[in-house]
Each structure stands twice: as C-alpha cells, then as structure tokens.
Structure 1
Amino acid sequence: MIIGLTGSIASGKSTVAAMLREKGYPIVDADEISRLVVEPGSPVLCEIKKAFGDEVIMEDGQLNRAKLGDLIFNDIEKRQQLNGIIHPAVRKEMLRQKEEWVAKGASTVIMDIPLLFESRLQPFVDKILVVSVTKDLQKSRLMARNGLSEAEAESRISSQLPMEVKERGADAIVDNNGALEATKQQLEAVLEEWKAEPLF
C-alpha cells in the first residue's frame, strides 16, 4: 500500500512524517528529492540556469533558492516553467525510490508529497492522508517559523490549494490543531484501520 502524506504549509506534515519514520515506515520525501535533483552539476540545475540565468546560481554552484523564489513567486508563467523542469525529474526519482523500498520487502511505503493535489499526483498513491490545521493556526505558525509578516504568510498560504479542498480529497485526516499526543493517537488509529505494516 502506497500512502500519500500531504498537508499545507505549516500544517505539521513534517511532524507526522517524523512520527511515521519513528514507527519504522519507509518514507519517500518529495522535498528531499527536489533538493537532490538540483545539486550542482545536475542536468536539472543546468536547465534551470539556462531558463532563468546565472543569477539563480550561487558562486559555489548551488541553486540560489531565495533568488529563484523571488523570480517565480508572483509570476505564474515562470513558476510553471520551473515546475516543468523540476517536476518530471522529481517524479521519476520518487517512483525509483518507491520501487526500491518495495523490492526490499516494504508492504507500506509513505510518499511525503507537500503538493500532492496541486501536482495532481493522486494516481501515484493508494490512500491519501491529509494533515490539517485551521487557517489562523497555520498563519501564526508560519509567521513564527519563517519570520514572515501577516501579508507574506497569507500570500504563501493562498499559493496552495485551500485546506478544505485537500480534506475533501483525503481518505483520512489527521487534525493537528491540538497537542502532539492527540495527533499521534489519530495517526495510529488511521494506520491500524488501513492495516499499514511498518518495515523496520
């Protein structure tokens, strides 16, 4: 069984991913992979440089995420152009890692995909688990975590699909508005219901 774990920015998805990792579930992490595919010298990074110019590459050859983020943040066309370069490489590597875990005997693999719905990756998974919070809590967490103003936090949140849309597409929801222990109990109940077996 392939479980797609998703949420929205500052919803606590990473916290739930850490709980799953602790429980012995193999995790394919889309964020980790998206960093991996743009390492210095990678074909993806060369393509990004060609599309967006030398200014998005730092002196040490690393991707200048802040510069690239500024370029694409309010420009839908540029954002789509970047996604068109990065997403196919990320998907390919995600599937490769998933197959590797299955070959190692995993009966449940967690695919941690922040933009599962936005990237229309539902066909990649059998079940979708959404980590949910209220918009107010999401905003205050994001402001505290990233040092953003209220307007900046709202802009980041509204660049993703609304939480209620994700909830409607979920097979199960973990409500992360309360204490960590409550989140953990909900997660355990879902895993039990789905008969999700850890590998380790």
Structure 2
Amino acid sequence: MSKTKKDRSKLICVTGLVNKGKSTAMKIISSYGYDVFIMDEYIHKIYKKNDIGYNAIKTNFGSDYVNEQAVDRDKLRELILNDIKYREKLNSIMFPIMLDKLAKLKKESKGLVFVELGIYIYNPKYFKSIFDFIIGINRDDEITENNPFQKIKNVIKFSTKDVENSKNIDNTKTILVDFIVDNNSSLKDFENKIKKILEYLDK
C-alpha cells in the first residue's frame, strides 16, 4: 500500500514492450511500499483447472486447449499467433474478465495501485477508462527495438507500429501516456526516475 494512503484508490498502468524493464520497475515501486498487481500472474492463476479463465477457454476453444492442470498456453499461443480471428476471439473472452478484475481492485483498494499491463499498448481504448495514469517504460539497446517514444509538446506519443508482428487493434499508430521512464542508464538512475513519478503521484 502507499505510505501516504488516500481514501480513493487510483490505478496506474505500467506498460511497455518486452524486455524494456516493466518487471524491474514494478519491483522498485513495490520496494517503496506501494501496492502492485501483475496482470500476467493473475492470468496464470485463473488459467488453472476449474477457475474462470480455464472454464472460459474450455467453453470457447474446446478441450484440446486445456489439460488436467491448466490451460495449455503453448497450444493456445500457437493458435492465436497463426490466425488473427482467434486472437480477437481470445481478447473478446479474456478482456472483460481482466477489466472486471481491475474494477474490483480499484473499488476495494485505497491509495495508489500500480498495474503491470503490457498489452495496454495494443489495446489502449479498451483499458484506458479504468486507469488514472499511464506510465510507459522504454529502453534502447541492441536487444530491443529503437525508442518508440516521442515527446510532442506536453504529450508523449508511443508508437505501436509493427511491434512483435502484432498490430494495435484500435488501428492507431500511437497511444498517449502520462509519464515515460527511459531505462537506458544505470539501475540507480532508473530507480530515481521512478521515484520522482511516485513522489508526484503521491502528493
């Protein structure tokens, strides 16, 4: 929980491409005493047998995509990567479940709650209304793509064009974020940048 707890909760989305530093950012945020929620961990949980995600996949995709323990994520991933209509079908099933979880989290929490949600960059319109602020994490190096962020006046543009062979389903090339954190230097520098945002949000 936030060290300076507020009566009304605020959800802050932490997003970015793969290998940019989202997980590290969440660890730093947690170390300062704030509540964090990792959506991918929640999906793993509800994909276990007889949970809501498992039952939804079994009902809509069939028994071939689940086993005795959980959803067969590898088989499901192969299906959705090979055919966009199945990816859209999966999104139509899972996004309402995810949004419902976020709504409950916002209702039941107090203060600032930081949510790691990488898929936000592909689906900003669907999730935008539930969040109070959006933080984009970026890093430029040889193992990641070029910096997709550009500052335009007081607005930050975050390009999602041709990212990981996927398309932003909102059919837009940019999304808007409230803060950008460049992870191009030392861990200490990255932490200091995040700390400044935390101090601003927790005023």
Q: Which runs of 5+ in 2 are unaligned?
A: 1-9, 146-161
Q: Would the alpha carbon gap of residues 17 and 44 (structure 1) be closer, same or farther in structure 2, given more than 3 Å must change? A: same
Give 1:90 deviation, angstroms: 1.4
Structure (1 or 2) with the greater strand fraction: 2
TM-score by length of 2: 0.76
Distance 1:38 1:117 in 2: 23
User: In 2, are the aligned partners of 1:11 and 1:133 still within 8 Å (CA)?
Assistant: yes
Per-residue deviation, residues 26-65 of structure 1 (Å, max 9, x unmatched): 112221222222221124322312332322112x231111
After the TM superposition, which residues 47-58 of structure 1 pair with which residues of structure 2 at under 5 Å, given as runs?
47-58=56-67
Give 1:88 deviation, angstroms: 0.8
Give 1:165 deviation, angstroms: 3.1
Give 1:156 deviation, angstroms: 6.8
Q: Would the alpha carbon gap of residues 42 and 195 (structure 1) be closer, same or farther in structure 2, given more than 3 Å must change? A: closer
Distance 2:58 2:141 in 1: 36
Distance 1:22 1:135 in 2: 26
Instruction: State yes or no: 1:25 paired with 2:20.
Output: no
Instruction: State yes or no: 1:37 paired with 2:46.
Output: yes
Give 1:82 deviation, angstroms: 0.9
Distance 1:28 1:44 in 2: 17
After the TM superposition, which residues 157-196 of structure 1 pair with which residues of structure 2 at under 5 Å, given as runs?
157-159=164-166, 165-166=174-175, 169-192=176-199, 194-196=200-202
Give 1:111 deviation, angstroms: 2.1
Distance 2:54 2:141 in 1: 34
- In the alignment, residue 76 of structure 2 is paired with which amino acid? L
Match of 1:127 in 2: 133
Greater RCO structure (CA 8 Å; 6+ sep): 1
Match of 1:81 in 2: 89
Q: Would the alpha carbon gap of residues 46 and 195 (structure 1) be closer, same or farther in structure 2, given more than 3 Å must change? A: closer
Match of 2:74 in 1: 66
Aligned residues: 173
| Residue 91 (structure 1) aligned to one of 77, 92, 99 | 99
Give 1:21 deviation, angstroms: 0.8
Structure (1 or 2) with the greater helix fraction: 1
Instruction: State yes or no: 1:7 paired with 2:16.
Output: yes
Per-residue deviation, residues 53-96 of structure 1 (Å, max 9, x unmatched): 322112x2311111111111121100011111111111111221
User: In 2, are the aligned partners of 1:4 and 1:128 still within 8 Å (CA)?
Assistant: yes
Q: Would the alpha carbon gap of residues 123 and 73 (structure 1) be closer, same or farther in structure 2, given more than 3 Å must change? A: same
Q: Would the alpha carbon gap of residues 178 and 26 (structure 1) be closer, same or farther in structure 2, given more than 3 Å must change? A: same
TM-score by length of 1: 0.77
Distance 1:86 1:13 in 2: 22
Give 1:185 deviation, angstroms: 1.0
Distance 2:21 2:88 in 1: 26
User: In 2, are the aligned partners of 1:37 and 1:90 still within 8 Å (CA)?
Assistant: no
Q: Would the alpha carbon gap of residues 186 and 75 (structure 1) be closer, same or farther in structure 2, given more than 3 Å must change? A: same
- % identical aligned pairs: 25
Give 1:160 deviation, angstroms: 5.7
